[in-house]
Amino acid sequence: MIADSTFYLVFLKDIDKPLYFKKIVDAHDFLLAPLVDSEIQHRLKKHNKSANYAYIVNNNKITKFDNSKVNLGATIKYFFGPSQIKVGEHEVVGHAFHLLHTPNVDLCCILDDKDARRIVKKRLLALYNILKWTTDFIKDSCCVSGVLEKDECIQIFTDMKKVGSLKVSDARYDRILNEIKSGQPV
């Protein structure tokens, strides 16, 4: 799994539920891009939640990328402009693209930035097929993989809706909550 900062911040800042974050992360192998890591640290510090960063640092299921081993700029310069390369979402796309055809890697890319998703859909269609929204990944952690219990997932989405952590409409939250409660896509 490789995710943008939104995924991490939903749990560690917005709804302040690091134990649910830990439960999801412990079920997967996550790769953390350096710019995303910096964004997370900055936002947690800004909102007085720096202590939650320990859930990243102390988790052996999260591996930090070493950008010195990959020429990320060369990988994504054909898809993004120079200023775009310096944001976490585009770094995530670059690393995901780099790993896309790596043998024995079951890759999922959690990406919430609409502009980055639009570029991926337009120019990197193979990568677009493995993109997930944070909301869909959390829902699948309950309804598909069973990592989260139904009541845990309902609590997460109820909290997310209450604090407005993502640019998601109440109607979408309600649809997701109904899917989780019923166990059937609505």
- Residue with structure tokens 């930090």? 64
Residue 87: domain span: 2-133
Q: Would you say residue 162 lies in a domain?
A: no
Domain count, the chain: 1
Q: How do beta strands 30-32 and 62-64 pair?
A: parallel
For 3, the 3-state DSSP assignment is strand
Q: Would you say residue 15 lies in a domain?
A: yes
Radius of gyration of the chain (CA): 16
* pTM strictly above 0.95: no
Query: Per residue of the chain (186 residues), what is the pLDDT tens digit?
Result: 999 999 999 999 999 999 999 999 999 999 998 889 999 999 999 999 999 999 999 999 999 987 666 666 566 666 666 655 566 777 788 888 888 878 777 899 999 988 888 888 988 888 899 999 999 999 999 999 999 999 999 999 999 999 987 888 899 999 999 999 987 665
**pLDDT for position 39:** 92
**pLDDT for position 77:** 66
The CATH number of the domain where 77 resides is what? 3.40.50
Task: Give the span between the Cα atoms of 17 and 8, in whole angstroms.
Answer: 10
**pLDDT for position 68:** 64
Task: Give the span between the Cα atoms of 13 and 24, in whole angstroms.
Answer: 16
In this structure, are residues 108 and 127 in contact, taking their beta carbons and an 8 Å threshold? no
Q: Would you say residue 124 lies in a domain?
A: yes
Q: Would you say residue 50 lies in a domain?
A: yes
For 31, phi then psi, to 5°, come to -115, 130
